Amino acid sequence: MLEARALCKSFGGKPALDHFSFTVHRGEIYGLLGHNGAGKSTTLGIILGMVMPDGGDVTIDGVSVRAHRSQALRKVGAIFEAPAFYDYLSGWDNLRLLMGYSGGFDPAAARDTIAQVGLTQRIHSKVRTYSHGMRQRLALAQALLPEPAVLLLDEPTDGLDPEGIKWFRDFILQLRRDRGMTVLFNSHLLAEVELMCDRVAILRDGKRVFEGAVGGLHDDALLFDVALDPWDRALGLLHACGGELVAPGRIRLPHGADPAALVESLVRGGIRVSALAPVRRSLEDLYMEIHHGATAPN
């Protein structure tokens, strides 16, 4: 549905993106992670045609953004962190104005969408009187009005209270369920990305350093927390099986190793095995590993 191929972009000679490629499949929620300046917003800027790439291209449903921007963006909605509306106009007028650039304003459709995002009571108030949460709801309404097939979310939950974050997350997940919407989610909030996304890519200095399914992160089949006694003899047996100690109480087994066989070997060797549990890694663990340790395999 959304494909970025070898995106390159430099600002003042400093590379912001270096041959970054990814694909978001139809109905998938794809997360973009990275530190400030990693290239996430530049990627979104290129997708929307706001930033001209030095190389590479983005296609949306097969249509090139570089060659046919208007056609490519016809079915795209976008939400930015701190969306900048025209504060001196009402929410309704903002929607009417923005929809003027998306093929026309349909008041009936607008009323439905406004009701969906829960803004009916305040839609005719000036945007300057809106709270941050209400602005994000209005942002959601303007993104949904053109009935997009692809939704681009750039730090959409920043600054929202926990209740607002949960509402937003549930709303997006429901959109995917009901409409099969494709979502590109760019955020610093690792827990949110973990809860929402099917796959993630991690960027560092404009390069992709990881891409994988969020579900697959949780169980690392090779990493275990163990409680063994005595340790010195246990380590000898562990090394004999090809395993290694990676941290106090944490071991890694080689590819293809059977943990049951290791336990059997340890017990036969007179080692007391009081615990052996696979390590459940969070996205945060992975992110920290990548940013403070070695690059994870793609």
Partner 1 sequence: MLFVQQLRGELRKLFARPRTWMGYGAFFLMEALILFVYKLEGSQRHMRDLLERNGLEFGTYYSSLTITFTIMLVSMFLLGSIYFALVAGDIVAKENEDGNLRMVFARPVSRLRLLLVKYTAVSLYTFSFVFFVGLSGYLMALLAVGRDGGLFVMEPRMKVFAAYPEWWQGASRLALAAAGIGVSMLTLSSLAFMFSCFKIKPAAATIITLTILFVDMILQGFPFFKPYETCFVTWRMSAWVFLMESHLSWPKLIESYAFLIGLDISLFTVGWAAFQTRDFKT
Member of 1, 24, 76, 193 binding partner 1 (CB under 8 A): 76
The token duo for 76 is 């795209």
176 is an interface residue for partner 1 by CB under 8 A: no
Task: Report in angstroms how near the CB of residue 62 gets to partner 1 at its nearest.
Answer: 16
Member of 23, 64, 102, 125 binding partner 1 (CB under 8 A): 102
Member of 31, 34, 39, 77 binding partner 1 (CB under 8 A): 77
108 is an interface residue for partner 1 by CB under 8 A: no
Member of 3, 64, 66, 105 binding partner 1 (CB under 8 A): 105
Member of 24, 32, 33, 51 binding partner 1 (CB under 8 A): 51
The single residue listed with the structure tokens 């106090």 is: 248
Say if residues 50 and 84 touch (Cβ distance below 8 Å).
Answer: no
DSSP 126: B
Say if residues 146 and 118 touch (Cβ distance below 8 Å).
Answer: no
Query: How many Cβ atoms are within 10 Å of 249's Cβ, its own excluded?
Result: 13
Concatenated DSSP letters for 37-91?
TSSHHHHHHHHTTSS--SEEEEEETTEETTT-HHHHGGGEEEE-SS----TTSBH
Member of 88, 232, 248, 256 binding partner 1 (CB under 8 A): 88
The token duo for 5 is 């191929």
Task: Report in angstroms how near the CB of residue 49 gets to partner 1 at its nearest.
Answer: 7
Contact stretch for partner 1 (CB under 8 A) within 92-100, 113-121, 190-198, 257-265: 92-100
Question: What does the H/E/C string look like for 188-201?
Answer: CCHHHHHHHCCEEE
Is the Cα dihedral 246, 191, 82, 18 positive or negative? positive
Query: What is the contact mask toward partner 1 in residues 53 to 72, using x (rule: CB under 8 A)?
Result: ----------------xxxx
Total binding residues toward partner 1, as defined by CB under 8 A: 40
Task: Report in angstroms how near the CB of residue 207 gets to partner 1 at its nearest.
Answer: 19
Identity of residue 235: L
Ranges within 30-49 binding partner 1 (CB under 8 A): 41-42, 45, 48-49
260 is an interface residue for partner 1 by CB under 8 A: no
85 is an interface residue for partner 1 by CB under 8 A: yes
The single residue listed with the structure tokens 């395993």 is: 243
Nearer to partner 1, 89 or 296 (CB): 89
Ranges within 131-170 binding partner 1 (CB under 8 A): 142-143, 146, 152
Give the CA count within 13 Å in the CB-facing half-sphere of 25: 6
Gap between the Cα atoms of 97 and 132, Å rounded: 20
Identity of residue 136: Q
Residues forming the site for partner 1 (CB under 8 A): 11, 41-42, 45, 48-52, 69-74, 76-78, 80, 82-86, 88-89, 93, 96-98, 100-105, 142-143, 146, 152
